[in-house]
């Protein structure tokens, strides 16, 4: 009896955690657009005063996206690009030589029951990768049946942000696809930038 009760408690805790992590996507029509997915993700972020650090990148993007949705003028330093047809959106904030770029896009998975959503933050100084505190690539899996998306592991590869290989020390950043389906991995060596292509196969990526 005790084992059964413990199992029930653990199951309930798992459901609660899952519910906390899931993001509801509201939309009209047959399926969500990149605008629907992007806004669901950005609007889900609410700063808690008990948190140690404010996610300035996501918070800033949320604020500007709110203006964009209302049709109000955007701050001079900010731009938003939305490509509904290709499932791609990009927010940029520029201050002199400093640029913050936030890309979001999605892929329809081969099973036709899920979408893979990506959120990618990259900072640049004078056109070169200069990682900030919130740089990174995150993935979420959207389920058609529940109209929710939840965090998921890197699909098919391990996200990395630096390397110290035979060619030297380098930062690593990623470019999400506005055209095509593949992700570009950028390796920023002092001698120049090298790139790898992560190819999409309908479920995951591979080099």
Place of tokens 């998306």: 149
Q: Structure pTM?
A: 0.88
| Sheet of 205-206, strands arranged across | 162-165, 168-175, 183-189, 192-200, 205-206
Name the phi and psi angles at 111, rounded to 5.
Answer: -75, -5
Give pLDDT, residue 52.
66
Domain ranges of the chain: 23-155
The DSSP output letter for 79 is E
Question: What are 165-174's pLDDT values in tens digits?
Answer: 877 889 999 9
- pLDDT, residue 130, reads 96
- Where the chain has pLDDT below 70, the residues are 1-20, 50-52
91-142 per-position pLDDT tens digit: 999 999 999 999 999 999 999 999 999 999 999 999 999 998 999 999 999 9
Cα–Cα distance measured from residue 207 to residue 196, given in angstroms and rounded to the nearest whole number: 7
Give me the residues paired with residue 187 across strands.
Answer: 172, 194
Q: Which residues are registered as beta bridge partners of 122?
A: 101
The SS3 call for residue 117 is strand
What pLDDT is attached to residue 5? 37
């Amino acid at each position: 009896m005790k084992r059964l009760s413990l199992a029930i408690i653990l199951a309930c805790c798992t459901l609660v955690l899952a519910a906390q992590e899931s993001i509801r996507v509201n939309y009209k029509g047959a399926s969500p657009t990149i605008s629907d997915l992007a806004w669901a993700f950005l609007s889900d972020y609410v700063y808690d005063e008990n948190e140690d650090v404010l996610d300035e990148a996501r918070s800033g993007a949320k604020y500007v996206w709110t203006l964009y949705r209302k049709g109000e003028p955007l701050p001079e330093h900010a731009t938003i690009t939305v490509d509904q047809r290709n499932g791609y959106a990009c927010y940029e904030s520029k201050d002199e030589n400093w640029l913050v770029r936030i890309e979001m896009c999605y892929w329809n998975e081969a099973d036709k029951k899920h979408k893979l959503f990506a959120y990618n933050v990259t900072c640049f100084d004078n056109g070169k990768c200069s990682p900030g505190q919130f740089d990174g690539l995150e993935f979420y899996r959207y389920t058609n049946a529940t109209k929710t998306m939840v965090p998921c592991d890197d699909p098919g590869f391990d996200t990395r942000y630096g390397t110290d290989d035979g060619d030297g020390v380098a930062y690593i950043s990623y470019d999400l696809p506005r055209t095509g389906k593949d992700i570009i991995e950028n390796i920023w060596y002092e001698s120049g930038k090298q790139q790898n292509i992560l190819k999409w196969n309908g479920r995951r990526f591979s080099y």
